[in-house]
Amino acid sequence: MTRARGLQLELRRPAVELVPSYLASLAEMRALGETIWEGWEPAASESHAGFVQRLLQAEREVAPPGVPQSIYWAAAGTSAAGGRDGIVVGRIALRHRLTPALERFGGHVGYEVRPSVRRRGVGREMLRQLLELPRARALGRVLLTCAPDNVGSNKTILANGGALERRAYLQARRRWTNYYWIETGAGASNP
């Protein structure tokens, strides 16, 4: 657990007690018109426990064209308990492998920061902690993609050792995309 500008931040696996705070984070994003991707929320008939179980099972059981992924929620607090008593301030996922579609858009890592805590280093710290996990290190290097005009995401990736490989226009998304690689293997040094 480390600090992100006044917040004690801890990556935690999805847990039932965090679901209300996680959903409040998505509500903040939705209020700004941001995309909430399919599967990020409980289905209409899904309990909080069932939702958490589905997210955790995504590491092992995924229907094509999906890939296995490890999902974490960043919990933050200001007390000595840190993320244990705080709110969910972000979501980050590590995809265990790439498909041709993920090579074009999405990469190995996807993350979102709760709007009310942006510009406080939360994304940078979430990514730093994720890159230290054994599964990320075992990949050797990870691909991250983002829009060139997403200043915060570009800075987050660069601060964690990202090397810009290229920029390309994605006709299907009607946007330009930056492609960064971050070395994660045993010899890599991430800030």
Prediction pTM value: 0.90
Q: What is the mean pLDDT of residues 92-103?
A: 96
Q: Which fold has domain 2-183?
A: Aminopeptidase (3.40.630)
Lowest mean pLDDT among 31-40, 60-69, 114-123, 159-168: 60-69
Q: How far apart are CA 85 and CA 49, in angstroms?
A: 19
Return the domain boundaries, the chain.
2-183
CB-CB contact of 153 with 146 (8 Å) = yes
* 31 pLDDT higher than 80: yes
Cis? peptide before 191, omega within 30° of 0: no
